[in-house]
């Protein structure tokens, strides 16, 4: 793909993510206008809003997987990995806002997302085993709370840098779950 075509695609996808999260009925034409491209450019790539939304979900999952990999959840010291992960996912949530309920309704997307959740849950289990998190919490609860904090931070802390927002999330998370 040419560099300009790749930039246009990225712009369409990020704009589509943002607009469809706010208004699921946003038209492809409106998304194209907001993205600064001709609507024919969008229609050449996506036959429908659902096709565009599917591509947004896949791009979001790609970004989540990249953030998980960059955090080095199995190798890095747990406190370092936690902060890297949180920072990465806040960036994902800011770049790729989506209606998670709609996203989870798509079977292949739900399965791929679940693999990421399983990876993070294993990391949080490691964090508890290494003494960073309290033992004895209900299974999976730390991951649920962390996920909610991450989504809230992306929406509610827009004036903070990603690193600053990550500091707030990690501090809040460890206040409740820290050993």
pLDDT along the chain (179 residues), means of 10: 83 94 91 93 89 93 97 97 98 91 86 94 95 89 95 93 96 85
Whether 12 contacts 31, CB under 8 Å: yes
Please give the domain boundaries of the chain with CATH numbers for all domains. 1-47 (1.10.10), 57-177 (1.10.357.10)
- The interaxial angle of helices 49-71 and 28-35, nearest 10 deg, is 50
DSSP-derived letter for residue 178 is: B
Taking CA atoms, 161 is separated from 87, 90, 112, 147, in Å, by 9, 10, 28, 19
- What pLDDT, on a 0 to 100 scale, did the predictor assign at position 1? 63
CA distance 146 to 177: 10
Global pTM reads 0.89
Transcribe 21-64 into DSSP letters.
HH-TT--HHHHHHHHTS-HHHHHHH-SSHHHHHHHHHHHHHHHH
- Beta-bridge partner residues of 178: 133
């Amino acid at each position: 793909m040419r560099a300009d075509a790749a930039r246009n695609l990225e712009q369409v996808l990020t704009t589509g993510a943002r607009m469809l999260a706010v208004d699921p009925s946003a038209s492809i034409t409106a998304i194209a206008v907001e993205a600064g491209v001709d609507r024919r450019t969008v229609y050449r790539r996506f036959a429908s809003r659902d096709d565009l939304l599917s591509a947004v979900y896949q791009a979001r999952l790609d970004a989540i997987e990249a953030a998980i990999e960059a955090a080095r959840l199995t190798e890095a010291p747990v406190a370092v990995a936690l902060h890297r992960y949180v920072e990465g996912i806040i960036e994902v949530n800011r770049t790729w806002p989506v209606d998670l309920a709609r996203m989870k309704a798509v079977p292949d997307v739900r399965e791929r997302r679940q693999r990421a959740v399983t990876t993070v849950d294993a990391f949080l289990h490691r964090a508890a085993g290494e003494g960073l998190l309290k033992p004895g919490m209900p299974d999976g609860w730390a991951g649920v709370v962390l996920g909610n904090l991450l989504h809230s931070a992306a929406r509610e802390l827009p004036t903070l840098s990603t690193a600053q927002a990550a500091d707030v999330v990690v501090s809040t998370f460890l206040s409740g779950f820290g050993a």
